[in-house]
Amino acid sequence: MKIVVAVKQVPARDSNFRPNGTGRWLDESDLNFEINEPDAYALEGALQLKEKLGGEVLVVSLGPERVLQTIRDALAKGADRAIHIATEEEAPSDSFITAQLIAAALKAESPDLVLTGLQSDDLGYGQTGVILAELLGFSHATIVMEVEPQDGAIRVKRELENGWFQHVVLTIPAVLTVQSGIKKLRYATLMGIKKAKSKEVKTIPASSLSATLAPSMVIERVYSPQRSKQTQMLSGSAQQVAQQLAEKLRFEARVI
């Protein structure tokens, strides 16, 4: 089975997020980057499917040169080769264009399955995988927790709202967007890191791929959210804040 995993590199969760000088994107100068967490689970799911069924895992990632680190990590964990769609701008394009570029880069690959995380931790649009399926002409399922290959098809367990689940049988080729936390993530071994150095990473400049390059969705302004509630911040030693809070909950909020 040939499995493509689309992974995104995002700023680490505990980063300091500030708008940049243009006010249209954030200041990336002191950010650390890491693999988008749901994509890490998509990669894990792909590697486990390969171990069970044989075949190949191809990683694809779009972004500036820094995403090569995320690609190398994925290769060290066991992916076989990678495609880097190299972009120049830091500020993101819209998901439709991202999906168009990935679809174009995968044209020659004809995978059986494409796995990706259900959404990104940075922008959270949660749609690149679904659009990709539409552009590739593949079936799809979102928020997938388990994948069970069948003869010429796959059966997946999807998460619905409020604790409900559902099994769906899909034709292949298919795109699956994977829920976080479905499996234990593996670490790269020393051997894996060594092997990764000789694995193929093909760089394709985004500008060489055919896509509508003018995004339909434009971020006009990025800013810190206004507080919806007046938050009283309590300060002092642990004992002091504990005392203050107990007072407030008893006599101000009257909830204990």
Partner 1 sequence: MSVLVVLEHMDGKWNRMSFEALEAARKVAQELNTALEAVVLGSGIDSLGADVAAYEVSKVWTINDPLLQAYTPDGYTAALEQLIKHVQPGLVLFPHTYQVRDYAPKLAARFGKALVSDVVDVRADGQDVLFVRQLFQGKLNADVKVKGEPRFASIQAGAFRAAQGGPASAPIENFGVQLRASDIRSKPEAPFRDAQRSVDLGAANIIVSVGRGIKEKENIPIVEELAQVLGGELAASRPICDNGWLPMERQVGSSGQTVSPKLYLAVGISGAIQHLVGMKGAKTVVAINKDESAPIFETADYGIAGDLFEVVPALVEEFKKVKG
Q: Which of residues 90-109 bind partner 1 (CB under 8 A)?
A: 94-97, 99
Q: Whole-number minimum distance, CB 199 to partner 1, in Å?
A: 30
Which residue in 22, 166, 189, 203 binds partner 1 (CB under 8 A)? 166
> By CB under 8 A, which span of 12-20, 69-77, 81-89, 107-115 interacts with partner 1?
12-20
Q: Whole-number minimum distance, CB 194 to partner 1, in Å?
A: 30
Per CB under 8 A, contacts with partner 1 among 43-82 are: none
Q: Whole-number minimum distance, CB 142 to partner 1, in Å?
A: 5
Per CB under 8 A, contacts with partner 1 among 183-202 are: none
Sign of the dihedral defined by the CA atoms of residues 87, 93, 96, 99, in that order = positive
Q: Whole-number minimum distance, CB 70 to partner 1, in Å?
A: 18
> By CB under 8 A, which span of 51-59, 80-88, 160-168, 203-211 interacts with partner 1?
160-168
**Pairing label, strands 56-63, 81-86:** parallel
Q: Is the bond into 173 cis (omega within 30 degrees of 0)? A: yes
User: How many Å apart are CA 208 and CA 125, to the nearest integer?
Assistant: 25
Q: Whole-number minimum distance, CB 54 to partner 1, in Å?
A: 25
Q: Whole-number minimum distance, CB 101 to partner 1, in Å?
A: 13
Per CB under 8 A, does 143 bind partner 1?
yes
User: How many Å apart are CA 129 and CA 179, to the nearest integer?
Assistant: 12
User: How many Å apart are CA 88 and CA 72, to the nearest integer?
Assistant: 20
Q: Between residues 197 and 254, which has the closer beta carbon with respect to partner 1?
A: 254
User: How many Å apart are CA 162 and CA 242, to the nearest integer?
Assistant: 34
Q: How many residues bind partner 1 (CB under 8 A)?
A: 81
The rounded Cα 16 to chain-centroid distance in angstroms is 20
Token pair 């059986």 is found at 112
Contact characters 17-36, partner 1, x per CB under 8 A:
x-x------x----------
Residues 125/93, Cβ–Cβ less than 8 Å:
no
Which residue in 126, 188, 195, 201 binds partner 1 (CB under 8 A)? 126
CA dihedral 90, 91, 93, 95 (to 10 degrees): 100
Per CB under 8 A, contacts with partner 1 among 214-233 are: 214-225, 227-233
Per CB under 8 A, does 151 bind partner 1?
no
Residues 128/6, Cβ–Cβ less than 8 Å:
yes
Which amino acid is present at 95?
Answer: S
